[in-house]
Amino acid sequence: MFLMNAELIELLRCPDCSLPVEEGDQFRCAKCGASYPTSQGIPRFAGEGYVASFGRQWNRYDVVRDEEDEATFRIKTGVDARDLSGKLVLDAGCGGGRYALLAARHGAKVVGVDLSSAVEKAQSLCQEFPDVAIIQGDLTRLPLAEGVFDLAFSIGVLHHGPDPRGAFREVARRVKPGGRLAVWLYRRNSPPQEWLNSALRAVTTRLPARILEPLCVGLGLVGSIPVVRRTLNKVANFSNHPDWTLRVCDNYDWYAPRYQSHHTVEELKTWFAEEGYDDLVELPPARQGRLYDWAYRNDLVIGSGVNVAGTRRSSE
Ligand SMILES: C[S@@+](CC[C@H](N)C(=O)[O-])C[C@H]1O[C@@H](n2cnc3c(N)ncnc32)[C@H](O)[C@@H]1O
């Protein structure tokens, strides 16, 4: 990993005062004196906080599926991973590291940041790639230099914190002028779907993992029943992914996290524009078909996304 080399250290910043950090036993800010340890080869600029469920989830479930990850990456970023060779890429909220791994395999230099202990999974997944650095940090206090990345992407992340707009701002500012940013967030559904989901999650987010996990396994079974899996999931969310592990993991990913906000395309486009991005494109979902398109356009597909990519203006 380029973790301890000069190139990475150049990129690191104190999350409190945004100044470069010095390397010693720990990373240390020359101005405020704050120090940040490294453990298991991972610089730790933040503790796990409110995302502990993700640490559990990504360390428990093995979700790398090469072909599917490649397709998902292309759909959710609008970028063909084969074009990433030599590019400096930020995976903002890398989770267990499946997309950081993908970008590294295509020759990118990748910095993956996540707040949870999922960084340990990401680190072990990417350990054979010298050009990947995994950092534990908070996107709202990013320990990275501004205006340096050729591409930043954030897939299913910003809606899992108390301040999605603030996290967006910080990620958007790490992209260099002329660089690209792609963001995928949960779509806001119809009011009845939103009410039911909030009521369900008000319960599930309070359950201990030893109870919630078996419930997610049960939902995994529901998600395998033909007809039911395509109809009932318009009422309440459960995964109907054909792969059992991904189905159970997706269910836990929906019902465990403390924060989950839903957004509109207009809102996300406004965020891009406010941060000085042009060439905005709304990226279409993976699934197509007349019925699906109709349900998607009418915000009826629970768990679907709003997905926008844009280019940072050179004058900003
Ligand atoms: C649904 S997972 C997505 C992970 C990855 N992008 C993927 O698609 O596999 C959301 C991730 O966002 C991370 N996250 C949430 N809030 C964060 C924050 N403020 N800073 C950094 N990471 C955060 C969580 O720890 C979690 O791993």
In a domain, 166, yes or no: yes
In a domain, 120, yes or no: yes
CA–CA gap between residue 309 and residue 126 (Å, rounded): 26
CA–CA gap between residue 154 and residue 231 (Å, rounded): 29
Considering the chain, what is the average pLDDT of its residues? 95
The answer on 183 and 165 residing in a single domain is yes
In a domain, 300, yes or no: yes
Site to substitute for ligand 1 among 62, 114, 258, most atoms within 8 A of C-beta: 114
In a domain, 19, yes or no: no
The answer on 143 and 109 residing in a single domain is yes
User: For residue range 159-168, what is the model confidence (pLDDT) as tens digits?
Assistant: 999 999 999 9
**Residue 299: what pLDDT?**
95
Site to substitute for ligand 1 among 44, 48, 51, most atoms within 8 A of C-beta: 51
Q: How far is the CA of 116 from the centre of ligand 1 (A)?
A: 7
Cβ of 77 below 6 Å from ligand 1: no
pLDDT at residue 97 tops 80 = yes
The answer on 216 and 183 residing in a single domain is no
**CB contact set of 210 (below 8 Å; sequence gap of 6+):** none
User: For residue range 10-39, what is the model confidence (pLDDT) as tens digits?
Assistant: 999 999 999 999 988 899 998 999 999 999
Q: How far is the CA of 119 from the centre of ligand 1 (A)?
A: 10
In a domain, 6, yes or no: no
State the closest ligand 1 atom to the C-alpha of 113, by its place in the atom list counted from 1: 21
CA–CA gap between residue 161 and residue 164 (Å, rounded): 6
**Residue 158: what pLDDT?**
98
User: For residue range 127-159, what is the model confidence (pLDDT) as tens digits?
Assistant: 999 999 999 999 999 999 999 999 999 999 999
User: For residue range 257-284, what is the model confidence (pLDDT) as tens digits?
Assistant: 999 999 999 999 999 999 999 999 999 9
The answer on 299 and 214 residing in a single domain is no
| Mean pLDDT confidence for 54-69 | 98
According to DSSP, the β-strands at 88-92 and 109-114 are parallel
State the closest ligand 1 atom to the C-alpha of 154, by its place in the atom list counted from 1: 6
The answer on 213 and 99 residing in a single domain is no
**Residue 278: what pLDDT?**
97
List residues bridging with 181 in a β-sheet.
152, 310
Which pair of tokens denotes residue 162?
């108390």
State the closest ligand 1 atom to the C-alpha of 118, by its place in the atom list counted from 1: 27
The answer on 250 and 105 residing in a single domain is no
pLDDT at residue 250 tops 80 = yes
Q: How far is the CA of 226 from the centre of ligand 1 (A)?
A: 31
Pick the last residue of a domain from 255, 276, 294.
255
The answer on 113 and 62 residing in a single domain is yes
State the closest ligand 1 atom to the C-alpha of 140, by its place in the atom list counted from 1: 19
The answer on 244 and 154 residing in a single domain is no
pLDDT at residue 4 tops 60 = no
CATH number, position 102: 3.40.50.150
pLDDT at residue 294 tops 70 = yes
In a domain, 193, yes or no: no
Q: Which domain holds residue 212?
A: 206-255
Query: Percentage of residues in the chain with pLDDT exceeding 70?
Result: 98
Pick the last residue of a domain from 219, 238, 255.
255
Cβ of 184 below 6 Å from ligand 1: no
The answer on 114 and 52 residing in a single domain is yes
Cβ of 51 below 6 Å from ligand 1: yes
Q: How confident is the model at residue 2 (pLDDT cuts 50, 70, 90)?
A: low
| Burial class of residue 64, CB neighbours in 10 A (0-12, 13-18, 19+) | middle
User: For residue range 171-204, what is the model confidence (pLDDT) as tens digits?
Assistant: 999 999 999 999 999 999 999 999 999 999 999 9
Domains of the chain: total: 2
Cβ of 114 below 6 Å from ligand 1: yes
pLDDT at residue 80 tops 60 = yes
In a domain, 20, yes or no: no
Cβ of 139 below 6 Å from ligand 1: yes
The answer on 249 and 123 residing in a single domain is no
**Residue 230: what pLDDT?**
79
**Residue 93: what pLDDT?**
98
**Residue 14: what pLDDT?**
97
Cβ of 98 below 6 Å from ligand 1: yes
The answer on 211 and 108 residing in a single domain is no
Cβ of 158 below 6 Å from ligand 1: no
The answer on 50 and 162 residing in a single domain is yes
**Where does the chain have alpha helices with state H?**
6-11, 52-60, 66-77, 98-105, 118-125, 164-174, 191-204, 209-222, 228-231, 244-255, 265-274, 290-297
